[in-house]
Amino acid sequence: MFHTRTRLSHRLAGTALVLGVAVGAAGCGDSPTAADAATEKPSVSSLVLIDGWVKAADHGMTGAFGKLVNSSGADIHIVSATSPITKSMELHEMAHGDGGEMVMREKTDGFVVAAGGEYRLEPGGDHLMFMELTSPIQPGQDVPVALTAEDGSRVEVSVVARSYTGANENYQGGEHGDDGHGGH
Amino acid sequence: MARRLGRRAFLASGAAVLGGAAALGGRELLDADPEPAAPDSPGRATVAFHGEHQAGVVTPGQAFASFVALDLVDGVDREALVRLMRVWTDDIERLTRGAPGLTDTEPELAAVPAGLTVTVGYGPGVLTAAGREDLRPGWLTPLPAFGVDRLQEAWSGGDLLLQICADDEITVAHAVRVLVKEARTFATVRWVQRGFRNSPGTVTPGTTMRNLMGQVDGTSNPIPGTEDDRLIWIGPEGPAWLHGGTGMVVRRIAMNLDTWDELDRPAREQVIGRRLDNGAPLTGTHEHEEPDLEAMTELKLPVIESFAHIRRARSDDPDHRFLRRSYNYDESPPAGELSNSGLVFVSFQADIDAQFTPIQRRLDQLDLLNQWTTPIGSAVFAVPGGCRPGEYLGQRLLEP
């Protein structure tokens, strides 16, 4: 489904060396959702999602946000995401639509979290998109999300649902309900 | 140390080459030892959130407060309360250290913590919704009706309470907004009361506040950190979820400042039993002196009148005391009136029935102050104990 870049895969292999330092990236009081490194391939185990959250919604689409932090010495290239409560997920970006307005659309080349760097997912910017919820997401609920890197390795993160009335970007893509990112 | 060296160097050069102006500047620096606080230090102040007790109870009163009572919407059960309390706890942790809420849409407004505290209280409705009626302390119920009461529904009751205090009003407004909107699917706002005290830097810390009738208000409070703690905090005798917690009374007391104006100063002092200038009892010279309720005038009349507020507000029982942490209010008056002022009376006590209610009964029976004050709102909340990192407020009630 996603094309592979052998150059990046090669570099990702090096991240195995820094396995185990992922949680250290979290600041005091932040809420890191670290990988369960032991059960995953090592390449994304140095990736954490800090302050991850998802916009609560009863049905349809909704977005998830947070700060991806890569504590390894190699870039990590996230190419897809899944969650048990949505039929599918996409990696999205905001871009100018044909009429000049801001629209969201699939970011087909994924998110590259630079070595030792961070990558912000936020309303009005790049985000994770739940495309069709199979059960409601209620405020305060923890929602698991699996991020898959280019080399096929996965990292499990968690996002907490919040009431949020923003993140109502127009979607430029396949069919979808007119409630955009869901309503809560 | 670097700063000291810098000062010495400055003084040396001033003495060597400059005249009076530089010398004056140097003296100001010397007098400022220890180093002066930064101009924005009140804004940068933080109050620890985690601990045995919630902040905002024995925390010295910040300048501004908002009290927000909320009612749970239908269908909110124990599981939903867990979610709400996790959300609130997370955002309170962030805001009180000067960080934005998790989904903060105005993160810049969170950058000035200004001593922010958020104290969460539970009305009886929370225990009902959680199916934990068996853990409700007997005092967690509306106060008995008092003859002086003219309670309005608009200022009374509530399932949940947020007491949000800080030394800056923008900080308070932002915290209110963040926490209320995160609760929007769980609860609706029932009432909001705003109040104020002196601002930082305007009076010596520890000064008893004055209410808008001009009286010092809160002189004979229990002293936190002493044996008085047993009057404030609930111990092992209470339900486990309230260990380290307290009972909270919030009453809105309207003041009739127009009729109060008709009283001259000696009469005003007789009403209270204290001097207006320094709050000393009429039998003494210092604010914190014990009043001598037996003292008589040359005419064999009591110095502190039988109807005086301080005589009526104390009983022979040393347990009939509570920690007052009130705020003044001064709202827009209705058309044709001069003022709409009063007190958001707030008291904390381990047992409302045993400590607060007996005194309120005494005041209800006789207190000349009642002529100028009218309770128009009343609510009672249980303030759960504090939480450690990784816990959420109320966890010991909701997930014991």
Mean pLDDT score of chain A, rounded to an integer? Answer: 77
Which pLDDT band, with edges at 50, 70 and 90, does B36 fall under?
A: confident
Residue B347 near residue B323, CB atoms below 8 Å: yes
Q: Is A169 helix (H, G, I), strand (E, B) or coil?
A: coil
**Does the N-terminal peptide bond of residue B358 adopt cis geometry, omega within 30 degrees of 0?**
no
| pLDDT surpasses 60 at A7 | no
Establish if A163 touches chain B: CB-CB under 8 angstroms: yes
Which pLDDT band, with edges at 50, 70 and 90, does A174 fall under?
A: low
How many C-alpha atoms does B146 have within 13 Å on its Cβ side? Answer: 25
| pLDDT surpasses 70 at B371 | yes
Mean pLDDT score of chain B, rounded to an integer? Answer: 91
Closest CA to A52 of A35, A32, A37, A70: A32
Q: How many CB atoms lie within 10 A of CB A30?
A: 16
CA B244 – CA B119 distance, rounded (Å): 13
Establish if A51 touches chain B: CB-CB under 8 angstroms: yes
End-to-end CA distance of chain A: 33
Establish if A184 touches chain B: CB-CB under 8 angstroms: yes
The catalytically annotated residue of B91, B149, B167, B217 is B217
| pLDDT for B26 | 39
Q: Is B341 helix (H, G, I), strand (E, B) or coil?
A: strand
CA B122 – CA B140 distance, rounded (Å): 9
Residues on chain A touching B185 (C-beta within 8 angstroms): 56, 138-139, 163, 184
Establish if A138 touches chain B: CB-CB under 8 angstroms: yes
Residues on chain B touching A162 (C-beta within 8 angstroms): 87, 102-103, 182
Nearest to B185 among A53, A65, A163 (CB): A163
| pLDDT surpasses 60 at B331 | yes
Beta-bridge partners for A147: A81, A155
* pTM, rounded to two decimals: 0.85
Residue B45 near residue B113, CB atoms below 8 Å: yes
Q: Is B69 helix (H, G, I), strand (E, B) or coil?
A: strand
Q: Do B90 and A53 touch (CB under 8 A)?
A: no
Q: Considering only A13-22, B237-246, B275-284, B294-303, which range has the smallest mean pLDDT?
A: A13-22
| pLDDT surpasses 50 at B387 | yes
> To the nearest whole angstrom, how far is the Cα of A123 from the nearest Cα of chain B?
9
Give yes or no: B159 in active site. Answer: no
Q: Do B103 and A53 touch (CB under 8 A)?
A: yes
Residue A176 makes CB contacts below 8 A (sequence gap 6+) with A60, A61, A131
Per-domain boundaries in chain A: 6-22+30-160
CA B298 – CA A152 distance, rounded (Å): 96
> To the nearest whole angstrom, how far is the Cα of A111 from the nearest Cα of chain B?
21
CA B46 remoteness from chain centre: 17
Q: Considering only A95-99, A171-175, B306-310, which range has the smallest mean pLDDT?
A: A171-175
Nearest to B83 among A65, A141, A166 (CB): A141
How far apart, in Å, are the Cα atoms of A75 and each of A8, A34, A44, A149, B85?
Answer: 7, 17, 10, 10, 37
Q: Do B82 and A160 touch (CB under 8 A)?
A: no
CA B3 – CA B293 distance, rounded (Å): 55
Q: What is this model's ipTM? A: 0.84
Residues on chain A touching B87 (C-beta within 8 angstroms): 139-140, 160, 162
pLDDT digits (tens, 9 = 90+) for B103-141: 999 999 999 999 999 999 999 999 999 999 999 999 999
Residue A142 near residue A149, CB atoms below 8 Å: no
Nearest to A138 among B83, B105, B184 (CB): B83
Q: Nearest residue on chain B to A159, judged by CA atoms?
A: B102
What radius of gyration do chain A's Cα atoms show?
A: 16
Residue A62 near residue A54, CB atoms below 8 Å: yes
Interface test with B, best of A58, A159, A164 (most B CBs within 10 A): A164
Q: Give the mean pLDDT of B216-223.
A: 92
Q: Do A29 and B80 touch (CB under 8 A)?
A: no
Q: Do B83 and A164 touch (CB under 8 A)?
A: no
CA B48 – CA B15 distance, rounded (Å): 45
How far apart, in Å, are the Cα atoms of A93 and each of A127, A133, A146, A178, A182?
Answer: 6, 20, 19, 19, 18
Which pLDDT band, with edges at 50, 70 and 90, does A110 fall under?
A: very high
Q: Give the mean pLDDT of A69-93.
A: 95
Q: Nearest residue on chain B to A67, judged by CA atoms?
A: B102
Q: Nearest residue on chain A to B86, judged by CA atoms?
A: A140
| pLDDT for A38 | 40
Q: Nearest residue on chain B to A65, judged by CA atoms?
A: B103
CA A104 – CA B140 distance, rounded (Å): 51
> To the nearest whole angstrom, how far is the Cα of B97 from the nearest Cα of chain A?
9
pLDDT digits (tens, 9 = 90+) for B158-167: 999 999 999 9
> To the nearest whole angstrom, how far is the Cα of B75 from the nearest Cα of chain A?
13
Residue B43 near residue B114, CB atoms below 8 Å: yes
Q: Do A29 and B182 touch (CB under 8 A)?
A: no
pLDDT digits (tens, 9 = 90+) for A32-41: 444 444 444 4
Altogether, the residues listed in chain A come to a count of 184
| pLDDT for A43 | 65
**Could you give the residue ranges of the DSSP H alpha helices within B207-349?**
229-232, 257-260, 265-272, 309-312
Q: Give the mean pLDDT of A92-103.
A: 84
Closest CA to B246 of B90, B140, B132, B157: B140
| pLDDT surpasses 60 at B30 | no
- Assign 3-state DSSP to chain A and report helix, strand, coil percentages, each to 5: 10, 40, 45
| pLDDT for B90 | 98
Beta-bridge partners for A157: A145
Q: How many CB atoms lie within 10 A of CB B198?
A: 16
Among residues of chain B, what percentage have pLDDT more than 70? 91
Per-domain boundaries in chain B: 45-398
pLDDT digits (tens, 9 = 90+) for B86-99: 999 999 999 999 99
Q: Nearest residue on chain A to B92, judged by CA atoms?
A: A29
> To the nearest whole angstrom, how far is the Cα of B216 from the nearest Cα of chain A?
40
Q: How, if at all, do strands A47-55 and A154-162 pair?
A: parallel
Token output for A87: 């039929």
> Which residue matches tokens 């001064």?
B330
Altogether, the residues listed in chain B come to a count of 400
Which pLDDT band, with edges at 50, 70 and 90, does B38 fall under?
A: confident
Establish if A32 touches chain B: CB-CB under 8 angstroms: no
Amino acid present at B147 = G
> To the nearest whole angstrom, how far is the Cα of B248 from the nearest Cα of chain A?
27
CATH of A6-22+30-160, one of 3.90.850.10, 3.90.79.10, 2.60.40.1890, 3.40.50.1460: 2.60.40.1890
| pLDDT for B17 | 38
Q: Give the mean pLDDT of B26-32.
A: 43
pLDDT digits (tens, 9 = 90+) for A9-65: 333 333 333 333 333 333 344 444 444 444 444 467 899 999 999 999 999 999 999
